């Protein structure tokens, strides 16, 4: 049995925000975290999300867009929703799962030139990264048992 902290990131389609969070959390948490992502629906991995992650040296091209697995969700230590739709429609979890909500705009809905759209993806990626840095630093500061 793993003693790693289990986190699942949830958004509407598991195509952008949750995939970005998944990739960053895996990099920042290393072998201390067991990271998953899922959506209320599976919209497929967004190629722009893959590109903005590659810009920071994280390859998510092999990730798949998955629908929430209720059995797996109940095994998590944390379930983090990244959009209002996921927060409202997230399945019930047992009290042992800490639910958190980090609302981010959907970069897939950005409009404008390709560069303007990519800037929206970068802004969301960077904001998610900052949240994860604080989240993981908070663990390390408060609880040595979470990260031995």
Identify whether 148 is part of a domain.
no
In a domain, 26, yes or no: yes
CA distance 131 to 93: 23
Does residue 122 sit within a domain?
yes
Domain limits for position 75: 5-142
Which band of pLDDT confidence, cut at 50, 70 and 90, is reported for residue 1?
very low
Q: With respect to residue 113, please indicate whether it lies within any of the assigned structural domains.
A: yes
From 16, 35, 60, 90, active-site residue = 90
% of the chain beyond a pLDDT of 90? 74
How far is 80 from 135, CA to CA, in rounded Å? 11
What CATH number did the domain enclosing 131 receive? Answer: 3.40.50.2300
Residue 135 lies in a domain: yes
- Which among 146, 76, 141, 82 has a CA at the least distance from the CA of 108? 82
Torsion, Cα of 40, 138, 32, 102 (10° steps): 10
In a domain, 35, yes or no: yes
Reported as a pLDDT band with limits 50, 70 and 90, residue 20 is very high
State the pLDDT at residue 146. 47
Query: pTM of whole model > 0.75?
Result: yes
Is 83 labeled as catalytic in the residue annotation? yes
Does residue 147 sit within a domain?
no
pLDDT by residue (tens digit) across 46-93?
Answer: 999 999 999 999 999 999 999 999 999 999 999 999 987 766 777 677
* Structural domains in the chain (count): 1
**Largest Cα–Cα distance of the chain, in whole Å?**
48
The 10s digit of each residue's pLDDT in 84-97 is 776 677 767 788 99
Residue 148 has pLDDT above 50, yes or no: no
DSSP string, 74-107: TT-SEEEE-SHHHHHHPPP--TTSEEEE-----G
Please report whether residue 50 resides in a domain.
Answer: yes
* 16: annotated active-site residue: no
Residue among 83, 108, 128, 132 flagged as catalytic: 83
């Amino acid at each position: 049995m793993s003693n790693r902290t289990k986190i699942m990131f949830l958004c509407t389609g598991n195509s952008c925000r949750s995939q970005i969070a998944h990739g960053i959390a895996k990099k920042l948490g290393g072998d201390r975290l067991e990271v998953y992502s899922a959506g209320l629906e599976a919209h497929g991995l967004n190629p722009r999300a893959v590109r903005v992650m590659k810009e920071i040296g994280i390859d998510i091209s092999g990730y798949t867009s998955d629908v929430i697995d209720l059995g797996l969700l109940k095994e998590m230590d944390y379930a983090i929703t990244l959009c209002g739709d996921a927060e409202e429609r997230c399945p019930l979890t047992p009290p042992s799962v800490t639910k958190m909500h980090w609302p981010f705009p959907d970069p897939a809905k950005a409009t404008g030139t390709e560069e303007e759209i990519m800037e929206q993806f970068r802004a969301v990626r960077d904001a998610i990264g900052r949240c994860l840095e604080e989240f993981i630093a908070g663990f390390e500061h408060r609880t040595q048992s979470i990260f031995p």
